[in-house]
Amino acid sequence: MKGLEGKRVLITGASSGIGAGIARVLAEAGCRLVLHYNRNEDGIRRTEAACRERGAETAILRCDFRQPETLDAFFDAAAQAFDGLDALVNNAGIVPKVPSLKDPQGETFAETLAVNLQAPYRLACRFARHCIERGQPGVVVNNSSIHGHKSCEWFSAYGASKAALDRLTEVQAIEWGQHGIRVVGIAPGVVPVERTEQILSQEKVKKEWIKRTPLGRYGETDEMGEAVAFLLSDHAAWMTGSTLTVDGGLIARGDYPFREDIRN
């Protein structure tokens, strides 16, 4: 991708899944990567090894985004790793599957918004200030979800966090465009990752999803990485404030499988 060589990129949630796929693709493109993780130390080491095999310089940082008081120090450390940052990929997130009436006080709801919305908001603000103070352009990519557009049972917290993240992408793009800072997003569809591949590989489950997906297959983590690479590249230089849906056509059809045990 044009313009990615040597770019300094912070990727949150890079220890597995889509975050690891993004890291591999950006490493291949010649980026220098700050890789964030929280709990999965083995995973982040695997991601780092894969990036270094592709010739990338890397740094690893840990932070628990449920603790907002740690975010400023985390960002400062990330910015110092390669004497500055050119891009931020807000990928880290949690996916609770809890019916609303089983979370009546909203503890899970609040935790989900802290990780999926508050942390990206604060990190993006710090990144924008970083770029403005240095007089440089920058790009923020927010990893949203098709659930930000249309959701289903169990996803009140997750769907709300991703819908809000889509609006945040729009507003911050408007606010920061004058400084040469682009804010964009991706909305992945069904992409098997370590925590979901076992259930998504079950024949009954796979059949339900695949028949609803016009392109007839699941997505892959590295395909999400390619989408992020495009958004970070000079090829997307006139693109800001929008979220790119990468879902094999699922949302165009708009037909999620029904979760029968929601009634229990």
Q: What is the pLDDT of residue 254?
A: 80
Identify whether the C-beta of residue 224 lies closer than 8 Å to the C-beta of residue 21: yes
- Segment 25-68, tens digit of pLDDT: 999 999 999 999 999 999 999 999 999 999 999 999 999 999 99
Q: What is the pLDDT of residue 162?
A: 98
Where are the chain's structural domains?
8-246
Proportion of the chain above pLDDT 90, given as a percent: 94
Could you please report the per-residue DSSP string of 87-111? EEEE---------GGGSTT-HHHHH
Question: Of 121, 158, 218, 256, which is the active-site residue?
Answer: 158
Closest residue by Cα to residue 95 from 243, 200, 183: 200
Is there a catalytic annotation at residue 256?
A: no
Task: Report whether pLDDT(102) > 50.
Answer: yes
Is CATH 3.90.1150.10 the classification given to domain 8-246?
A: no
Q: What is the pLDDT of residue 1?
A: 82
Residue 260 pLDDT class (50, 70, 90 cuts): low
pTM here?
0.95
Interatomic CA distance for residues 65 and 85, integer angstroms: 20
Task: Report whether pLDDT(176) > 70.
Answer: yes
